[in-house]
Amino acid sequence: MLSESARMSTAAEARFRVQAPNSTPRTVKIVALDAASEGTVRRLAAASWNQASFYTAAAFTQDVKAAVSDADLVVMVAGPGGGSGAAAQIGAACSERRVMTTALIVGAASTPDDELAKTLVQLRPWSLMVVIANADDYIQDMLTALRA
């Protein structure tokens, strides 16, 4: 008798498998909220992406409602120290339009907890998920996983 796993990998069962990718790429907007994150976002923008757009906070918040209107996901990137004031404006626009938000904190590996806390206080109310990234390549992997 075949196990369930063995039976599911037979040619007879293969005809029931979905033969297309599981979803379409998302329209993702990545925003550098402060000077500490601008270099990281600039490096990420140089890579090849499906439907990702990269912004500084100043450029994104000029017309934040329009910037959010066609997004499936907004990723806010910030460095430690609490210079992420635009998160509230961006987060409110995303909440209004029901756009998912994620926040990534860069450069936190050797940062004192109180500096990190200043950033978390600004990001947490406006982010469905907050990630403290120790390396920029983690952020690139995260964006790939989010189908950016």
- Residue 69: pLDDT band (50, 70, 90) is very high
Structural domains present in the chain: 23-145 (3.40.50.1440)
pTM of the model: 0.81
Sheet holding 73-78, edge to edge: 52-56, 28-32, 73-78, 100-105, 129-132
- Residue 36: pLDDT band (50, 70, 90) is confident
Strand, helix or coil for residue 50: coil
Could you report the per-residue pLDDT of 76-135, keeping only the tens digit for each? 999 888 778 899 999 999 999 999 999 999 887 777 888 888 999 999 999 999 988 877
Expressed in angstroms, the distance from the first to the final Cα of the chain is: 44
